Amino acid sequence: MNTVFKILWFEDEPAWYRMERKRIDEILKAHYLVSEITRRVGDDFDVAELIGNNYDLILMDYKLAEGKTGDTIVSAIRENDVLTDVLFYSSEQQSMYAALSQAMPSIDGIYLMERDYTKFTKKAEKLIEKIVKRSEDIVNLRGFVLDNTSDFEVRIKEILNICWQKFNDEQRDTLTELTRSLLDSKKSRTIKNVEKAKEEDNVFTYANNENYLLSIADKLDIMQKILLILQSDYNMTKTIGASDFKKYYSDKVGVYRNKLGHVMFGEKVIRINGKDVEINQELHRLLRRNIVEVDKAIRDIEEYITQTM
């Protein structure tokens, strides 16, 4: 699980599915998770789809169409070593209990619920909370923060490249001047590489794509300059991105990435901006929310420079 919670849902009645899906979406929003739900019906099942697909939860109506029952599907799932939690529900409880009891223990790890919308929602909420909490440890926290910020950094680099290609000479001169200034500040550490970069015909492109010259902080400085150009010369509204993108990015994810990259297993707090922050469910939710927000901010910029500019 990252910021997306994946559900495979077997349900033949569209009205029930639409009603309950809204409730499930709201439950996941409370955890700052994006729901990704795949719906299947009784005659639309291929166990190969589950192999390696890493669903977080399977929801299944016991009595499916075409005479199929959920226990036969779950038996096939378990036989292929897919151990995802399964929530069964049915208006024919006794038939469901009898069929599933005969299939134990080969289809263990399942939960049973009658087909009642209030009870179903509460059961699903508790099960989702259990699954989410199970994933909320420091290893997963560090992993999803580092994975997402690495993705953000690649996308920021490409935004800079795209804008360079689309800008006019005067705008490019502005970026070149800023790049030279950023490189000058690094002279004492990387004189050789800096001088090589400054001798290139296109110092901006070389420095932006060289892995060790410009840090993410440097590229955020350039991004800030680019956003100002986009707003003043290309009519991009200030609602796209952020008014101070470098600070926005740092506060939302940057400071957490730096700390989590060095935290040891078993540590209970990290130091953020001079304050101790507990590594708990609240922090997991905060970072899931922040990552979703930063992803949207970057995506809005990407869409503007590729589709509107």
Half-sphere exposure at residue 184, Cβ-oriented, CA atoms within 13 angstroms: 6
pLDDT value at 287 more than 70: yes
Distance, in Å, from the CA atom of 104 to the CA atom of 68, rounded to the nearest integer, reads 18
Three-state DSSP class for 263? Answer: coil
pLDDT tens-digit profile of 174-232? 999 999 998 888 776 667 777 777 888 888 888 888 777 788 999 999 999 999 999 99
Three-state DSSP class for 262? Answer: coil
pLDDT tens-digit profile of 12-37? 888 989 999 999 999 999 999 999 99
Distance, in Å, from the CA atom of 62 to the CA atom of 131, rounded to the nearest integer, reads 22
User: Looking up tokens 């779950």, which residue turns up?
Assistant: 74
Contacts of 171 (CB under 8 A, 6+ apart): 229, 233
Q: How large a percentage of the chain has pLDDT more than 90?
A: 43
The pLDDT assigned to 69 comes to 56
User: Looking up tokens 């995802």, which residue turns up?
Assistant: 84
Residue pair 47/77 in contact by the 8 Å Cβ criterion = yes
pLDDT tens-digit profile of 221-280? 999 999 999 999 999 998 888 889 999 999 999 999 988 888 877 788 888 988 999 999
86-90/34-40 β-pairing:
unpaired
Three-state DSSP class for 176? Answer: helix
269-272/275-278 β-pairing:
antiparallel
Phi, psi values for residue 156, rounded to 5°: -65, -45
- Could you give the angle at the alpha carbon of 75 between the alpha carbons of 69 and 79, nearest 5°? 155
How many CB atoms within 10 Å of residue 281? 13
pLDDT value at 94 more than 80: no
pLDDT value at 127 more than 60: yes
Three-state DSSP class for 102? Answer: helix
Three-state DSSP class for 148? Answer: helix
Average pLDDT over residues 122-141: 89
Nearest Cα to 164, choosing from 220, 219, 214, 204? 204
Give the H/E segment covering residue 9.
strand 4-10
Distance, in Å, from the CA atom of 89 to the CA atom of 6, rounded to the nearest integer, reads 19
Contacts of 230 (CB under 8 A, 6+ apart): 163, 236, 240, 304, 305, 309
Three-state DSSP class for 271? Answer: strand
Structure tokens at 282: 């609240």
pLDDT class for 168, splitting at 50, 70, 90? very high
